[in-house]
Structure 1
């Protein structure tokens, strides 16, 4: 049996991993972070897959966590 390499992301709680994944991905798309951060994204994705979590679920959970944080901090404008 081959032991897979683990990373720091394997030790993070799911909420923290999901929020971090969403924010990093969003900032890469905006050009705020370099494409070198794709390596970190891949490590996060591998961690999620080892946990049996789909990437769609990870992204959606991250999005909800960030939205909830914004509401808690009052940084979103309610219309």
Structure 2
């Protein structure tokens, strides 16, 4: 994530989504804001950028994806 200046933007989250983000942020040692930015930025990564990821970044992406899938599988259908 870049250290560029960011402008505040209020976001409305369901309590469930906020709880999932907070848990993921805690697990990754990040703030809630950093977790949200990481996930948003990751959603815009294209194939050429994926090839330039470091092994640590790939592992972060895998961990985040696994956490999301695990949380989604716990939700009632």
Q: TM-score under structure 1 normalisation?
A: 0.34
Q: TM-score under structure 2 normalisation?
A: 0.34
- Between the two structures, name the one with larger relative contact order (CA 8 Å, sep ≥ 6): 1
